[in-house]
Copies of this chain bind each other. A is one copy, B any other.
Amino acid sequence: MKLLYDGKTKAVYELDQDKCVLEFKDDITGEDGRIDPGSNYVLGKLEGKGKSSLKMSQHFFKLLQEQGVPSHYIDSDLAKNNMVVWKAQTFGQGLEVVCRFKAYGSFLRRYARYAQEFQPLNALVEVTLKDDERGDPLINDESLIQLGLLTERELEIIKALARKVAVIVKNDLALKGLELVDIKFEFGRIGQEIVVIDDISGDNMRVFKNGIQVPPRELSDLVAE
């Protein structure tokens, strides 16, 4: 299979004209020796990490299917550490759409003058550009539209989808006594339809249990038996 993209935590191969295979890697991201799923730096490898992310993504993509939320998910193979998905077009070179239920991480660092740590937020959505070189800059609605990354209508659909999926994930985690603080999605177009792409794993969300952050791997074991 042709390698289309080699990312920090996944590689993307072309399966056929319409489908891709995502290979989940064992690389972990973080900074200063501390694991941080939001980081742009690869810290090292952790045996079984790819499978763990895949297991959790499989769980959530199946949950989305059940709830009728469009995504790129077709099937996954835990033995092969991969997921088969529909090919989708990103918006520009990719947007990250964050949905926040509590003030934490980069939001808190930026707005520390006004936000308290863990202050409740009402499914607040922020969009950043995937651009490691420039630290994934935040972008507002007008700029997204005027730079031609998407239309006003597409932006509204994406925000509503991000909130909807975030609430589905939040509620599912809550059943296991886990609290979702924030979650990051990517969206793409398959033809005219806007769908959830990428993965939905511990790499893309911050989850707490009894006030302590749950590391991605442990999270996967708690979420997807």
Question: What is the interface of chain A, defined by CB distance below 8 A to chain B?
Answer: 92-93, 107, 109-115, 121-122, 124-127, 129, 131, 134, 137-143, 146-149
Contacts and interface: CB of A to CB of B under 8 A. Distances in A.
B137 A111 contact: yes
B140 A141 contact: yes
Contacts of A129: 111, 113-114
Given A114-B149, A121-B146, A124-B142, 7 more contacts: A92-B113, A110-B137, A111-B129, A112-B134, A114-B129, A114-B148, A126-B143
Contacts of A131: 113
Main secondary structure of the interface of A (DSSP, over half): mixed
Contacts of A110: 134, 137, 139
A120 to B, nearest CB: 9
A107 B134 CA distance: 12
Given A124-B142, A140-B140, A142-B124, A147 B114 contact: yes
A141 B143 contact: no
5 tightest CB-CB pairs across the interface, nearest first? A110-B137, A114-B147, A140-B140, A124-B142, A138-B138
A93 B124 CA distance: 22
B112 A92 contact: no
A146 B107 CA distance: 12
A134 B146 contact: no
A92 B114 CA distance: 8
Contact of A142 (B114, B126, B142): B126
A129 B127 CA distance: 17
Contacts of A137: 110-111, 138
A223 B140 CA distance: 32
A148 B111 CA distance: 12
A163 to B, nearest CB: 11
Contacts of A113: 92-93, 129, 131, 134
